[in-house]
Amino acid sequence: MNFFLLSLIKAVVVAFVLLTTLAYLQWVERKVIAHIQVRPGPYRVGPHGLLQPLADVIKLITKEDLIPPYTSKFLYLLAPFIAVTMALISISVIPFGGPIRIFGDNTWMQLTDLNIGVLFVLAISSVGVYGIALAGWASNNKYSLLGGLRSSAQMISYELPLSLAVAAPLLLLNTLSLRTIVERQSGYYLGFIPHWSIFQMPMPQIFSFVIFLIAAFAETNRIPFDLPEAENELVAGYHTEYSSMKFAAFFMAEYSNMVTVCAMTTTLFLGGWLPLWPAAAGSEFLPTLIFLFAGAIALYHGLNPVRRRDAYTFPAVAVVFFVLALIFLVPMLRGALLPLFWFAAKTGGLLFVFIWIRGTLPRFRYDQLMAFAWKFMFPVAVVNLLVTALLVALFS
């Protein structure tokens, strides 16, 4: 099979998985927020609201697509396009796993590996600001304009600590290619502490990790930094004047940025697809155990049904879990599934933190946000970078 066809297949698979994840991430977010606020969340469309994303997509496609008068039409249409394109592109350099064999061809579980991968992601994310800034300006609406202004100021300010926080682990790992970054984090201290950037000697990158995560919240316009779309003061911020699929494009861009940022954090700090403890100590059986446990719980509830239909639905769910547990034991699929499991688990955990914080923290005031970026985050990031550089120069 030639290179072109293989790349095409990988691109289609990655795009399909990413778009499905984006649709269901919104369902997960609504469910988690709902449970934090002690209410059930979406429940009507499908079992536990599982078909809600589909219903939302149908709703957004069939809504009237309105272009308000007195806008600059070209920029108004260009803005959501830029936002969603720049948000989706970054996934192409993220490595999901090690080398695999498909139909006799060796390939990597990654679309492409650039030797400037980290810089590529930073460049794409810095261009993504235009989507929001132009949307705010082109809408010819004071709330949109304020949202766009806030967003561009916020993103410029937080890009500095973000880049400095990225630079520190790069000093340890000494490469810009994302695949090599993950490979250099393999191995264990004392047989059980992984060589991930956040644990790696001579300077564990815990501070960089925290700074990166905080700046990432600001870069993706999430609570507590979601001032560009603060609804109590700005209606909906930069996308006030957008309807139908153009509104959906901004929504998709926001969730896609979240996925990208979490995948980047996983790759840079948490060892990408590498397991938490060595395979010799049984890390390869963890997914099987998790699915077996989940299946056992479902089976228990099926045997002691609270409602009448539980006697049929829970055993069915249990069978699905047991099949998944067995799939992780098949030697042929294992090589591909285990890295995917670890990558998805870490990225998913970080995504959960994003949602959790949205359900927990209030919003900053705008001056607090700027003061926090320039007077706290930036100096801490600089000191962290200098200390890391010193220790790396002394000990390696």
Smallest separation (angstroms) from other proteins to the CB of 258: 20
Smallest separation (angstroms) from other proteins to the CB of 45: 40
Nearer to other proteins (CB atom), residue 175 or residue 283 = 175
Nearer to other proteins (CB atom), residue 61 or residue 127 = 127
Nearer to other proteins (CB atom), residue 22 or residue 181 = 181
Q: What is the DSSP string of 164-231?
A: HHHHHHHHHH----HHHHHHTT-SEETTTEE--TTT-SSS-THHHHHHHHHHHHHHTT-TTS-GGG-H
What are the CA-CA distances from residue 300 to residues 192, 297, 304 (Å)? 34, 5, 6
Smallest separation (angstroms) from other proteins to the CB of 375: 16
Smallest separation (angstroms) from other proteins to the CB of 137: 5
Smallest separation (angstroms) from other proteins to the CB of 62: 32
For the range 96-104, what are the long-range contacts, defined as Cβ-Cβ under 8 Å and sequence gap of 24 or more? 96/273, 96/339, 96/340, 96/343, 97/273, 97/336, 97/339, 97/340, 97/343, 98/273, 98/335, 98/339, 100/335, 100/336, 102/1, 102/6, 102/9, 103/1, 104/1
- How distant is the alpha carbon of residue 82 from its chain centre? 19
What are the residues binding other proteins (CB under 8 A)? Answer: 72, 75, 114-116, 119-120, 122-123, 126-127, 129-130, 133-134, 136-137, 145, 148-149, 152-153, 155-156, 159, 176
Helical (H) or strand (E) element with 22: helix 3-36
Smallest separation (angstroms) from other proteins to the CB of 78: 8
Tokens of 170: 């790069």
Nearer to other proteins (CB atom), residue 72 or residue 244 = 72
Instruction: Tell me the C-alpha distance between 109 and 102, whole Å.
Output: 10
Q: Are 273 and 98 a contacting pair, CB within 8 Å?
A: yes
Question: What angle is formed at CA 231 by the lines to CA 229 and CA 236, rounded to 5 degrees?
Answer: 55
Nearer to other proteins (CB atom), residue 22 or residue 166 = 166
Nearer to other proteins (CB atom), residue 327 or residue 392 = 392
Smallest separation (angstroms) from other proteins to the CB of 219: 12
Instruction: Tell me the C-alpha distance between 75 and 131, whole Å.
Output: 9
Nearer to other proteins (CB atom), residue 130 or residue 199 = 130
